């Protein structure tokens, strides 16, 4: 019997474009997929012979893990303990906890079914809400992806009438929301006892978070 050999034909540019789209989509749903990382994306494509051939022809898309090791790991929160209320499937919440613990925070995570109950309990305004709520043992609230640097600064000298800080929504590039070299400028907001808010810090670059 004559051996059957057929060369595979792959269009590198089309394949690479598809891979980039797959990587970007996988990263942006990190909050609902807790364990998505670069290894998972690669392993999902390995079984295909066509994919393996194309990988040998094109460099792999580079993707930074959601929780990139910080060069500014410190102990600025070493004397602080807090409870983090989060959804069980929120990957970026876990990454933020890793960021805070890397700076010394002693965190206890609680997966809850209805986060709004806790946001209401700790007086987080609707427009200031994010994916997780952190409450320190002395009652201060840190909503969302607040950098450890500003948590420590706030706790060292809490402003009069303030109950905590918030980073509304989930800005790309904030702690726990890192993706490649993407960064979205954002504000750290001060939450006050009377329900008002004020800008606590303007974050206009990744370096400003360190």
pLDDT for res 73: 74
| pLDDT mean over 166-184 | 97
Nearest to 103 by CA among 177, 192, 176, 167: 176
Matching residue, tokens 């933020």: 96
pLDDT at position 31:
55
pLDDT digits (tens, 9 = 90+) for 115-160: 999 999 999 999 999 999 999 999 999 999 999 999 999 999 999 9
Any idea which of 43-52, 143-152, 199-208 has the lowest mean pLDDT?
A: 43-52
Please state the rounded mean pLDDT for residues 59-69. Answer: 34
**Which one, of 159, 156, 170, lies nearest residue 194 by Cα?**
159
The residue written with tokens 């050999």 in the block is 5
Query: For residue 198, how far is the Cα from the chain centroid?
Result: 23
Considering only 11-20, 96-105, 143-152, 164-173, which range has the smallest mean pLDDT? 11-20
| Displacement of CA 4 from its chain's centroid (Å) | 50
Report the SS3 class of residue 94.
helix
Report the range of poorest mean pLDDT among 30-34, 86-90, 181-185, 203-207. Answer: 30-34
Q: What is the mean pLDDT of residues 32-53?
A: 39
CA distances from 65 to 44, 62, 120 (A): 17, 10, 32
Average pLDDT over residues 166-178: 97
What percent of the chain is modeled with pLDDT above 90? 64
Is residue 171's pLDDT more than 90? yes
Q: What is the mean pLDDT of residues 87-107?
A: 97
């Amino acid at each position: 019997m004559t051996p059957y050999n057929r060369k595979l034909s792959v269009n590198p540019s089309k394949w690479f474009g598809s891979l980039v789209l797959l990587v970007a989509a996988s990263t942006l749903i990190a909050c609902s997929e807790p364990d998505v990382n670069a290894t998972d994306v690669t392993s999902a494509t390995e079984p295909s012979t066509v994919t393996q051939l194309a990988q040998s022809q094109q460099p792999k898309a580079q993707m930074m893990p959601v929780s990139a090791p910080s060069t500014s790991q410190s102990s600025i929160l070493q004397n602080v303990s807090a409870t983090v209320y989060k959804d069980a499937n929120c990957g970026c919440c876990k990454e933020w906890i890793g960021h805070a613990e890397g700076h010394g925070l002693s965190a206890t995570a609680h997966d809850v079914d209805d986060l709004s109950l806790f946001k209401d309990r700790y007086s987080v305004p609707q427009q200031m809400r994010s994916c997780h709520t952190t409450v320190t043992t002395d009652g201060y609230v840190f909503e969302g992806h607040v950098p450890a640097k500003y948590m420590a600064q706030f706790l060292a000298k809490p402003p009069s009438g303030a109950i905590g800080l918030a980073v509304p929504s989930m800005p790309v590039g904030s702690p726990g929301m890192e993706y490649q070299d993407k960064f979205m400028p954002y504000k750290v907001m001060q939450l006050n006892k009377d329900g008002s808010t004020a800008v606590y810090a303007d974050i206009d670059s990744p370096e400003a978070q360190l």
